[in-house]
Amino acid sequence: MAIYMNEPSRTFGEYLLIPGYSSTDCVPTNVSLKTPLVKFKKGTEPAISLNIPLTSAIMQSVSDDGMAVALAGEGGLSFIFGSQSIESQATMVERVKSYRAGFVESDSNISPDATLQDILDLKEKTGHSTVAVTSDGSQNGELVGIVTSRDYRVSRMEKTEKVSEFMTPIADMIIGNENTSLKEANDIIWENKLNSLPIVDKNKRLLSMVFRKDYNSHKSNENELIDPQTKRYLVGAGINTRDYEERIPALLEAGADVLCIDSSEGFTEWQRIVIQYVRKTYGDTVKIGAGNVVDAEGFRFLAEAGADFIKVGIGGGAICITREQKGIGRGQATSLIDVAKARDEYFEETGEYIPICSDGGIVHDYHITLSLAMGADFLMMGRYFARFDESPTKKVNVNGNYMKEYWGEGSARARNWQRYDMGGDKKLSFVEGVDSYVPYAGSLKDNVGLSLSKVKSTMCNCGVLTIPELQKNAKITLISSTSIVEGSAHDVLLKDTQL
């Protein structure tokens, strides 16, 4: 006979937190959201921790290099989507690893043989008045000079005059090199009254530019998630259980700091095979997450297979129609509570703490706090991040409202057959996701800042200053459908404009 779980499985909207005693120390500025990303032994520190408990979903419409840079800048981590060619995924990882806040690739470049007219055309196109002159006119060619609006006067010169005749030549320029830090670059700009500082390598090839006007925007964020050795942002990458023997080496070569098997269902032998491959080839140096599971049995399987973290959640994603299509899944809160219990038991038994990630289904900011209280060490979100400027998708106007596109990896648009592959034919035979719009919400920095200020404030209401304290001390209550009604504005006539 089948096994029946007679309790209904539940989701975040059915629970609330009950306040705990808050001392005067319980203020949001004292709250730390630092949390482990990968497993560690009792009494030791994890090899990688996040400064905020947020990761962005392994999805085409969410996590490219732009998202990864923005999120690492705030202390979280992106997993670059794997449903693309190995080369293009590795290129995205490389771009994150070569990113240095404040150092920008020069987008206005010209050769010394070009003319004043070419400079004017370029300025029109890019809107930038500083043009790097490189021997071949390319972005990373040998730097031979610079042209700014101070170098020419359109009314007094022929438009056919050669750039080499009026540029400021490199001999008269102040330049930085690979070892110049952002602080040093800013000091040089300041002391020499420059508008920009070109950075070149030892062969004088142009690497990047630092601009005076960017000074305020690139003062570093104390939370940013960087590798202390290389001072570069951390980045993750999604992999699948098919081409991992080619994909993993390429991603590691590109600099990926952590991998995650991206699959709609992780309680499978395929996942064990991939984790074993990583352990055999790289030992413990390469970190790999696995999932998704929704119960203790699935957790234990992946824990014993050697996963560094385990993702929880099936069927709760905003764009997900897996439950409708296949009738599998489980309410996200119940899944999390069950898996967190299994994680704690495993820790008691083995002394090994395996972080768990609540993946999908976050609708309100308070769901973030609830999922942490229920035992998640960090979260993965798709819809949440898709709404921001930094997501890779188009911003479109729908009926007068700005929206961003957001589609599932199991949609016909993404065609990510590996994620749903159960062996056999290599094609997506039925979809498990939809293509949609989500309301445009502005910058990641502003939104993450606001969401986390709510999380911190609620943690203070619960009388806790860290995520482990929240997991240990939170009091959580189930609520009836009538109290859900009581929870939003009721019995009042809402005015049109809310202040």
Just list the catalytic residues. 320, 419
Unique residue bearing structure tokens 């419409």: 61
Q: Of the listed pieces 13-21, 164-172, 337-345, 374-382, which binds ligand IMP according to CB under 6 A? A: 374-382
Query: Taking the CB of residue 496, how many other CB atoms lie within 10 A of it?
Result: 4
Nearer to ligand IMP, 66 or 141 (CB): 66
Contact yes or no for 273/245 (Cβ under 8 A): no
Computed from CA positions of residues 470, 475, 478, 482, in that sequence, does the dihedral angle turn out positive or negative? negative
Is 329 near ligand IMP (CB under 6 A)? no
Is 89 near ligand IMP (CB under 6 A)? no
Is 360 near ligand IMP (CB under 6 A)? yes
Is 318 near ligand IMP (CB under 6 A)? yes
SS3 464: coil
Q: Of the listed pieces 149-157, 216-224, 360-368, 439-447, which binds ligand IMP according to CB under 6 A? A: 360-368
SS3 145: strand
**Torsion angle defined by CA atoms of residues 135, 137, 138 and 141, in that order, rounded to the nearest 10 degrees:** 10
Nearer to ligand IMP, 102 or 289 (CB): 289
The residue number whose beta carbon is nearest to ligand IMP equals: 433
Is 408 near ligand IMP (CB under 6 A)? yes
Contact yes or no for 46/354 (Cβ under 8 A): no
Nearer to ligand IMP, 61 or 134 (CB): 61
> Taking CB under 6 A as the rule, which mask of x and - marks residues 414-433 in contact with ligand IMP?
------------------xx
Q: Of the listed pieces 122-130, 185-193, 236-244, 353-361, which binds ligand IMP according to CB under 6 A? A: 353-361
Is 357 near ligand IMP (CB under 6 A)? no
> Taking CB under 6 A as the rule, which mask of x and - marks residues 441-460 in contact with ligand IMP?
--------------------
Give, rounded to a whole angstrom, the gap between the first and last alpha carbons of the chain.
57
Residue 182 in tokens: 């952002």
> How far apart are alpha carbons 305 and 114 in whole angstroms?
61
Is 410 near ligand IMP (CB under 6 A)? yes
The partner residues of 344 in beta bridges, in order of sequence, read none
Residue 39 in tokens: 């497993």
- Out of 118, 295, 409, 421, the only residue in the binding site for ligand IMP (CB under 6 A) is 409
Is 57 near ligand IMP (CB under 6 A)? yes
Query: Taking the CB of residue 419, how many other CB atoms lie within 10 A of it?
Result: 25
Q: Please give the DSSP secondary-structure letter assigned to residue 232.
A: -
Is 361 near ligand IMP (CB under 6 A)? yes
Contact yes or no for 150/129 (Cβ under 8 A): no
Q: How far is the CB of 317 from ligand IMP (least distance, A)?
A: 2
Nearer to ligand IMP, 353 or 407 (CB): 407
> How far apart are alpha carbons 79 and 56 in whole angstroms?
6
Residue 113 in tokens: 């043989």
Is 322 near ligand IMP (CB under 6 A)? yes
Query: Taking the CB of residue 242, how many other CB atoms lie within 10 A of it?
Result: 15
Residue 65 in tokens: 């290099």
Q: DSSP letters of 296-333?
A: HHHHHHHHHHT-SEEEE-SS-STTB-HHHHH-----HH
Q: How far is the CB of 167 from ligand IMP (least distance, A)?
A: 50
> Taking CB under 6 A as the rule, which mask of x and - marks residues 7-46 in contact with ligand IMP?
----------------------------------------
- Out of 320, 333, 342, 373, the only residue in the binding site for ligand IMP (CB under 6 A) is 320
Is 298 near ligand IMP (CB under 6 A)? no
Is 258 near ligand IMP (CB under 6 A)? no
Q: Of the listed pieces 160-168, 267-275, 380-388, 444-452, which binds ligand IMP according to CB under 6 A? A: 380-388
> How far apart are alpha carbons 391 and 405 in whole angstroms?
9
**Torsion angle defined by CA atoms of residues 410, 392, 396 and 415, in that order, rounded to the nearest 10 degrees:** -20
Is 411 near ligand IMP (CB under 6 A)? yes
Is 119 near ligand IMP (CB under 6 A)? no
Nearer to ligand IMP, 95 or 383 (CB): 383
Residue 455 in tokens: 């999380």
> With CB under 6 A, what is the number of residues at the site for ligand IMP?
23
Between helices 444-461 and 65-74, what is the axis angle to 10°?
Answer: 40
- Out of 319, 356, 370, 459, the only residue in the binding site for ligand IMP (CB under 6 A) is 319
Is 392 near ligand IMP (CB under 6 A)? no
Q: Which residues contact 234 (CB under 8 A, 6 or more apart)?
A: 48, 72, 77, 225, 226, 227, 257, 258
Contact yes or no for 46/364 (Cβ under 8 A): no
Is 362 near ligand IMP (CB under 6 A)? yes
Parallel/antiparallel/unpaired status of strands 435-439 and 206-211:
unpaired
Nearer to ligand IMP, 17 or 57 (CB): 57
What is the identity of the amino acid at 391?
S
Is 275 near ligand IMP (CB under 6 A)? no
Is 383 near ligand IMP (CB under 6 A)? yes
> How far apart are alpha carbons 333 and 312 in whole angstroms?
10
Residue 238 in tokens: 């999604």
Q: How far is the CB of 328 from ligand IMP (least distance, A)?
A: 11
Contact residues: ligand IMP, CB under 6 A: 57, 59, 264, 317-320, 322, 359-362, 380-384, 408-411, 432-433
